[in-house]
Chain A
Amino acid sequence: AQSVAQPEDQVNVAEGNPLTVKCTYSVSGNPYLFWYVQYPNRGLQFLLKYITGDNLVKGSYGFEAEFNKSQTSFHLKKPSALVSDSALYFCAVRDMANQAGTALIFGKGTTLSVSS
């Protein structure tokens, strides 16, 4: 079955330090992978996606993510964290082996807290 795991409920970093939010996935075929961010009382905002090609994907607000097929991971990274990056981050996967399925499977989310 398709699944996404975000092993950390919360990640704490100091402003200016690099951040990593972890994500691993399980699918039967090739994955489409996504990161979204959610601010309080708002919907999800798209950050970046991996479909194919270069394993390092760059997205909005200086975020990037690295696809690692052997480790089935898609960790979100940013070289220098900002206080305004504090939010709830979701990793999601679509299993391309499921031709009829276009829905995204989401992880439980990781709360990122950046301190000044």
Chain B
Amino acid sequence: DTGVSQDPRHKITKRGQNVTFRCDPISEHNRLYWYRQTLGQGPEFLTYFQNEAQLEKSRLLSDRFSAERPKGSFSTLEIQRTEQGDSAMYLCASAAASDTQYFGPGTRLTVL
């Protein structure tokens, strides 16, 4: 068990480009969450998967954002037509039945 991993750790992109982030959860965890954290704020919920099913989406998840978890293992978060306001740390967390969410190191996105 190596914990939750995220790739890349840092991403710099130009406005209007598409970006994709990957999250690999703890292997036996069936729940996977994406959060966004901006400077000076706590993480804000984006979306939740149980196995491969996307069960919850926040109002923060605009139509430019899409997330998948095709085989119930790793997940991807794609942002299309990035905007400067998308600059943030994107955090992934996974959980088993205990409800404790374990977080990855995050992907820091900078949109120029």
Residues in chain A within 8 A of chain B (CB atoms): 4, 32, 34, 36, 41-46, 49, 51, 90, 92, 94, 100-109
Contact = CB atoms under 8 A, between A and B. Distances in A.
Given A43-B91, A90-B42, A103-B56, A36 B103 contact: yes
B99 A103 contact: no
A42 B58 CA distance: 24
Contacts of B33: 102-103
Contacts of B44: 106
A105 B81 CA distance: 28
Nearest to B89: A43
Contacts, number: 59
A53 to B, nearest CB: 14
Interface in B25-55: 31, 33, 40-45, 48, 55
Interface residues of B, number: 25
Contacts of A107: 42
Contacts of A108: 40-42
Contacts of B56: 100-103
A109 B37 CA distance: 11
Given A32-B99, A100-B55, A103-B33, A43 B105 contact: yes
30 contacts: A4-B42, A32-B99, A34-B101, A36-B103, A42-B105, A43-B104, A43-B105, A44-B91, A45-B103, A46-B100, A46-B101, A90-B42, A90-B43, A92-B42, A102-B56, A102-B99, A103-B33, A103-B45, A103-B48, A103-B56, A103-B58, A104-B43, A104-B101, A106-B42, A106-B43, A106-B44, A108-B40, A108-B41, A109-B40, A109-B42
